[in-house]
A and B are shown apart, each in its own frame.
Chain A
Amino acid sequence: MSKGVLVDVTRCVGCRSCMVACKSWNDLPANKSEFANNWDSPGKINANNWTVVNSYIIEQGDDLKWRFVKKQCMHCLEPACESACFTHSFVKTKEGAVIYKPTELDQDYCVGCRYCMIACPFGVPSFQWDKPLPFVQKCKFCYDRMKEEGMEPACVTACLTGALQFGERDQLLAEARQRIDRDPNYIKQIYGEKEYGGTSWLYIADVPFEQLGFKTEAFGKPVSTKSIPTYTWDALKLTPYIFVGWGAILTALHLYTKRRAEVAHNEEEMYEAVNTQEKDQEE
């Protein structure tokens, strides 16, 4: 039942129709672009650009390869943003979309603490920094289209080359594996299958993923295949035990040492307010 999208980097020509479709379907304001020494404008996803296509020039010997990679929210199977939010403003729907409830479901509990932005391993959630009362913004997998009409996301509809394919995640995984096995040019990895517990969006490519702006390793080790919520839950689940156990230990200590050190002292007689009238030695 959980949907996904398979992105085949080898089929993308970098036309950026997906970006335009995303903007128009979601009514996102335009941003003036700036000159830059690349073809990436605006380069990074932000509050008004939920998806971007990044360009990469890959040199392999004498061979120059252009590759284009669409980036957006990966829609984790166990989203870090959902577990990080203490007002539960993100939710992973049964359709697979990770959505932000204040804008999507009109449940405005978000306080704007931005812990979701710290938590996301892909750096996806963005903030409306210029607004007095900002929302967090990110790709919502066109949940509105998916839920009511059973339609695929706007970006997938707009894709001319079949680089984006919408479907059941299981079937897409099988499809991806088939393509990789059939064609020796593909890198033997499906990005999103296992990374951080797996994501609804999956990528296959003929160039190593780390050259396409994907994080495949960190500090010399492959990135975690454990989901972010597992890390925090491992610590959080101890809370009730610490609360009760530590409380019991302290109470016991309190009673025990009180009996031993039964020295009468009157706290009220011990302290006084500092008298500044007599001495004015204040620095």
Chain B
Amino acid sequence: MMQKKWTFKITPFRKALLAMVGVAVLVVIYRLIMGLGPVTNLSDDWPWGLWIGFDLLCGIALAGGGFSTALIVHVLHKDKYLPIARAALLTSLIGYIIALISLLMDIGRWNNFWRPFFYWGYHSVLFEVFRCISLYTTVQLLEFGDIFLEKVKILPLKKILKPALVPLTILGIVLPTLHQSSLGSLYLVTVDRLYPLWWSTLIPFFFVWSAFFLGPAMVTIEGTLASRAYNRKPELPIFQSLTKVTMWMLIVYLIIKIVDLNSRGVTSMAFNGSFESNMFLIEMIAFIIVPIIMYAIPSIRTKLWGVVTASALVVIGVIFNRMNVVFTGMAGSVGTSYFPSIWEWLLTIGMWSGLVLVYLFVVENFPILVKEEEEDEAFSAGTGMTAGKSVEA
């Protein structure tokens, strides 16, 4: 098994992505020298913008596929989902690295970034968010280390890592549960300012629950994209059986949302015709109720287009929800408007281009996706593997 060589084929598409990353690196240098004022459209009214609202909040939420898949595969031992487990871990890991980079770019006094590691501000929600995210990124790196060592064989390291994997997996679910919810708790302080359709003492629950049900949908989208990119067969049976998880979680989300609005007496605000109420209705109908219906109808959910469309709605819906919390719901009480500057966009685009490139590189050099000819057997618990064929020609 000589798998030491690294490959990365450069196509025009990848060249474009590389160019975007290059632009983003220039923006980073500019921002670090000039500070936030000249580079961003942030202000005292809008202290948080695109980098926190989208890259951090959505990046972390979209990486939810990592922990929900880990729970399903490694804790509940639903082995039929094994084929997607590593891809989910990989996208999650890259998502977290993006979130950490955007956080580093966003903090004003970036020279002090290491301080919070040595300071226990446990009364702050941000403390929990920061601790959990950095710890969880470490955990994911270690989990990934196991895969890394399958290619780069350093046996003593593998021996050390092996017994740690189970506790790491457990930790790798507990930590995201905590910080996905604390990302919601961050907005508890905006009482009387965040529109009551979104502000709730239950907002931590809504954030973690949606990050969890987003997982299977995100895995479906990633899997479909990867299969298109590499001309492989999409793992349709896996996507289909995941829809059950997502559908029931969506239903629970919807019910708790309605109960929450009623108990706070703000249900009528959803129908008062304001901008906020319309955005809220779009969020609930197009991105919660419609996917539930699509998942519930067998003739839709068993088709690839059906399961992919519904999953895309769920994914967009979670982004839509986070955007509503960060921007729509706050705009009314802030009074002024915010739109990201060209530099903010360029950094964001560059980071997500980087995500695609890293994903492609890792998938092409490490055992992440299931062996093609094994796919059918893999679905039935991954037994009866033949010896691995050499990948590199």
Q: How far is the CA of A261 from the CA of B382 in the complex (A)?
A: 12
A interface footprint on B258-276 (CB within 8 Å = 1, 0 otherwise)? 0000000010010000000
Residues of B within 8 A of A155 (CB): none
Shortest CB–CB separation between residue B54 and chain A, in angstroms?
16
B interface footprint on A225-248 (CB within 8 Å = 1, 0 otherwise)? 000110111111001001100110
Residues of A within 8 A of B302 (CB): none
A interface footprint on B143-180 (CB within 8 Å = 1, 0 otherwise)? 00001001100000000000000100111011001100
Please tell me if the beta carbons of B74 and A129 are within 8 angstroms of each other in the complex. no
Query: Assuming the A-B contacts A117-B44, A218-B193, are A235 and B383 also in contact, with contact meaning beta carbons closer than 8 angstroms in the complex?
Result: no
B345 interfacial by beta-carbon distance below 8 Å: no
Query: Assuming the A-B contacts A132-B34, A265-B82, A271-B367, are A232 and B189 also in contact, with contact meaning beta carbons closer than 8 angstroms in the complex?
Result: yes
A280 interfacial by beta-carbon distance below 8 Å: yes
The answer, among B82, B150, B190, B195, for a CB contact under 8 Å with A118, is: B190
Q: How far is the CA of A139 from the CA of B124 in the complex (A)?
A: 22
Residues of B within 8 A of A123 (CB): 44-45
Shortest CB–CB separation between residue A170 and chain B, in angstroms?
26
A6 interfacial by beta-carbon distance below 8 Å: no
Please tell me if the beta carbons of B108 and A127 are within 8 angstroms of each other in the complex. yes
Please tell me if the beta carbons of A257 and B75 are within 8 angstroms of each other in the complex. yes
A interface footprint on B379-393 (CB within 8 Å = 1, 0 otherwise)? 001110111110111
Q: In the complex, which residue of chain B has the Cβ closest to the Cβ of A82? A: B123
The answer, among B109, B122, B374, for a CB contact under 8 Å with A134, is: B109
Q: In the complex, which residue of chain A has the Cβ closest to the Cβ of B9? A: A276
Specify which of B44, B188, B191 lies most central, judged by the most chain A CB atoms within 10 Å of its CB. B44
Query: Assuming the A-B contacts A113-B126, A129-B36, A247-B174, are A273 and B367 also in contact, with contact meaning beta carbons closer than 8 angstroms in the complex?
Result: yes
Please tell me if the beta carbons of B368 and A271 are within 8 angstroms of each other in the complex. yes
The answer, among A112, A117, A271, for a CB contact under 8 Å with B112, is: A112
B349 interfacial by beta-carbon distance below 8 Å: no
B333 interfacial by beta-carbon distance below 8 Å: yes
Please tell me if the beta carbons of B71 and A250 are within 8 angstroms of each other in the complex. yes
Please tell me if the beta carbons of A126 and B108 are within 8 angstroms of each other in the complex. no
Interface size (B, Cβ < 8 Å)? 105
A106 interfacial by beta-carbon distance below 8 Å: no
Please tell me if the beta carbons of A129 and B126 are within 8 angstroms of each other in the complex. no
Please tell me if the beta carbons of A84 and B189 are within 8 angstroms of each other in the complex. yes
The answer, among A110, A132, A232, A266, for a CB contact under 8 Å with B125, is: A232
Please tell me if the beta carbons of B371 and A272 are within 8 angstroms of each other in the complex. yes
Q: How far is the CA of A265 from the CA of B381 in the complex (A)?
A: 7
A251 interfacial by beta-carbon distance below 8 Å: yes
The answer, among B103, B123, B368, B387, for a CB contact under 8 Å with A236, is: B123
A57 interfacial by beta-carbon distance below 8 Å: no
B77 interfacial by beta-carbon distance below 8 Å: yes
Shortest CB–CB separation between residue B296 and chain A, in angstroms?
27
Please tell me if the beta carbons of A110 and B112 are within 8 angstroms of each other in the complex. yes
Please tell me if the beta carbons of A270 and B174 are within 8 angstroms of each other in the complex. no
Query: Assuming the A-B contacts A129-B36, A246-B174, A251-B170, are A88 and B75 also in contact, with contact meaning beta carbons closer than 8 angstroms in the complex?
Result: no
Interface residues of A in 191-232 (CB under 8 A from B): 215, 218-219, 223-224, 228-229, 231-232
B364 interfacial by beta-carbon distance below 8 Å: yes
Residues of B within 8 A of A232 (CB): 123-125, 185, 188-189
A282 interfacial by beta-carbon distance below 8 Å: yes
Which of B19-27, B211-219, B228-236, B303-311 touches A? Answer: B228-236
Q: In the complex, which residue of chain A has the Cβ closest to the Cβ of B230? A: A274
The answer, among B119, B204, B371, for a CB contact under 8 Å with A86, is: B119
Q: How far is the CA of A48 from the CA of B389 in the complex (A)?
A: 67
B352 interfacial by beta-carbon distance below 8 Å: no
Shortest CB–CB separation between residue A169 and chain B, in angstroms?
23
A32 interfacial by beta-carbon distance below 8 Å: no
30 cross-chain CB contacts under 8 A: A84-B126, A85-B121, A111-B110, A118-B47, A130-B35, A132-B33, A134-B35, A218-B333, A219-B266, A229-B123, A232-B125, A235-B182, A235-B185, A242-B174, A242-B177, A254-B166, A261-B78, A270-B382, A271-B370, A272-B388, A272-B389, A273-B366, A273-B368, A276-B7, A277-B392, A282-B9, A282-B230, A283-B13, A283-B228, A283-B229
Which B residues fall within an 8 A CB radius of A? 3, 7, 9, 11, 13-14, 32-38, 42-45, 47-48, 71, 74-79, 82-83, 86, 103, 106-113, 115-116, 119, 121-128, 130, 147, 150-151, 166, 169-171, 173-174, 177-178, 181-182, 185-186, 188-193, 195-196, 201, 204, 228-232, 266, 269, 333, 363-371, 374, 378, 381-383, 385-389, 391-393
A113-B103, A133-B35, A280-B9 given; name 18 further pairs at CB < 8 Å. A87-B119, A112-B108, A115-B126, A127-B36, A130-B35, A131-B37, A133-B108, A133-B111, A228-B191, A231-B189, A236-B182, A243-B178, A254-B170, A270-B371, A271-B147, A273-B391, A275-B391, A282-B13
